[in-house]
């Protein structure tokens, strides 16, 4: 093999190997260096013929050594950055859960009109979940069929005042007892009901409740705030309607429907041919609730509303089975990677 071919095929896996190659070819007794020693003994005619070739070989050898040196330095930099604790298998990027996407969108919409976020404990007492919200002692919601009560320890009779909150209205009562009006808050969180799990119901789900208390707050203010939310969430063409209803903590009370965003109000299987879909309950805060929280109902008034995050997510992403939200099925979650 010629010297030129040897130079072209040089390989080095470490700096020590690279140095050995440099000595072998360009050292004081290196193979290329010895060519220059022999060059001095040549005649003028031979020097003119071989001088350029020897110089080209020296330059190509130096260039090849420099290339290998740069490659080794780059490899060292990459190895220094490498996380040796990582699994050798490729790690796929995750995605945000659809409930988180919708919850944050709802919070963002109401934040534009002055609502701030308040959170509270999921394990609550009867006072904040029912008592201060005008629930009668015999109200069905207090029954074991609807509420999860918490035992202190095994073998001890369960207390009737410690439970998993059935709505985030308990956060509203805590805010009303600790802050003075004006109050304008959103209360997002997980709630629990003693219900059978199915495609349309679950024993836990997520709510966002809103509360606004100030002087001269009217039902018209409530309607305008909810209309703004509906149009921002489902589109500018969305219409709303309010139907009379009953809740212990509001009077008057209403349930709000929106024009079906699937059929545009024309009627389909989702809205059962009516063109309307119920999304939340609302009403003016009952004076008894204000008084129980230490707020003068003669001076202040307010409105409240509550909506299920799963319900809004169903409308937005056409998810028909509530169980998908908690089963962590990768095939389902991957559909939201681009959201």
pLDDT of residue 159: 54
Cα–Cα distance, 304 to 208 (Å, whole number): 11
* 253, pLDDT greater than 60: yes
Residue 179, classed as helix, strand or coil, is: coil
Spell 54-66 as b/e; 16+ CB within 10 A means b: eeebbeebeebbe
Are 250 and 284 in contact by the 8 Å Cβ rule? The answer is yes
pLDDT of residue 74: 83
Please tell me the pTM assigned to this model: 0.69
**Model pLDDT for residues 68-96, shown as the tens digit of each residue:** 888 888 887 777 776 777 777 777 777 88
Residue found under tokens 């305008």? 224
Of the candidate ranges 37-41, 103-107, 241-245, the one whose mean pLDDT is the lowest: 37-41
Higher pLDDT pick, 262 / 218: 218
Q: Report whether 334 contacts 95 (CB < 8 A).
A: yes
pLDDT at 272 over 90: no
The pair of structure tokens assigned to 278 is 């119920």
Measured CA to CA, the distance from residue 211 to residue 72 in angstroms comes to 64
Q: What is the tens place of the pLDDT at every residue in 223-236?
A: 999 999 999 999 99
Condensed to tens digits (0 to 9), the pLDDT of residues 108-141 reads: 999 999 999 999 999 999 899 999 998 888 878 7
pLDDT confidence of 327, banded at 50, 70, 90?
Answer: confident
Given strand 250-259, what is the order of strands in its sheet? 116-117, 183-192, 204-214, 301-308, 276-285, 250-259, 240-247
Q: Is the pLDDT of residue 188 over 80?
A: yes
Distances (CA, A) of 172 to 167, 194, 304: 10, 22, 9
Between residues 169 and 37, the one the model is more confident about: 169
- Asked whether residue 292 carries a pLDDT value surpassing 90, the answer given is yes
What average pLDDT does the chain have? 86
The Cα 339–Cα 337 span in angstroms is: 6
* Res. 333: pLDDT tops 80: yes
20 forms bridges with which residues in the sheet?
Answer: none
* Whole-number pLDDT of residue 144: 61
Q: What is the pLDDT of residue 331?
A: 86
9: Cα within 13 Å, side-chain hemisphere:
6
Q: pLDDT-based confidence at 29, cuts 50/70/90?
A: confident
């Amino acid at each position: 093999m010629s010297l030129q071919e040897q130079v072209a095929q040089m390989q080095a896996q470490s700096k020590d190997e690279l140095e050995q190659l440099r000595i072998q070819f360009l050292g004081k007794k290196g193979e290329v260096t010895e060519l220059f020693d022999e060059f001095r003994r040549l005649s003028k005619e031979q020097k003119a013929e071989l001088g350029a070739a020897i110089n080209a070989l020296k330059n190509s050898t130096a260039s090849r050594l420099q290339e290998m040196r740069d490659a080794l330095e780059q490899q060292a930099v990459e190895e220094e950055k490498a996380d040796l604790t990582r699994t050798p298998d490729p790690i796929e990027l995750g995605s945000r859960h659809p409930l988180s996407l919708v919850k944050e969108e709802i919070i963002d919409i109401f934040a534009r009109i002055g609502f701030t976020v308040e959170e509270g404990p999921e394990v609550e007492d009867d006072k904040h979940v029912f008592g201060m919200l005008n629930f009668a002692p015999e109200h069905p919601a207090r029954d074991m069929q609807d509420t999860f009560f918490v035992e202190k320890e095994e073998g001890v009779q369960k207390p009737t005042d410690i439970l998993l909150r059935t709505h985030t209205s308990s956060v509203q009562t805590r805010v009303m007892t600790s802050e003075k009006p004006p109050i304008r808050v959103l209360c997002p969180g997980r709630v629990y009901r003693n219900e059978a799990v199915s495609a349309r119901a679950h024993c836990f789900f997520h709510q966002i409740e809103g509360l606004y208390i100030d002087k001269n707050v009217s039902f018209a203010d409530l309607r305008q705030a909810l209309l703004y939310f509906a149009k921002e969430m489902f589109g500018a063409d969305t219409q709303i309607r309010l139907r009379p209803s009953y809740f212990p903590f509001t009077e008057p009370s209403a349930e709000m429907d929106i024009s079906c965003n699937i059929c545009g109000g024309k009627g389909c299987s989702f809205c059962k041919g009516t063109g309307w879909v119920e999304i939340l309950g609302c009403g003016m805060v009952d004076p008894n609730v204000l008084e129980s929280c230490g707020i003068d109902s003669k001076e202040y008034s307010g409105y409240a509303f509550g909506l299920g995050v799963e319900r809004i997510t169903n409308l937005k992403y056409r998810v028909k089975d509530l169980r998908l939200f908690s089963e962590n099925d990768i095939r389902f979650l991957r559909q939201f990677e681009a959201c």
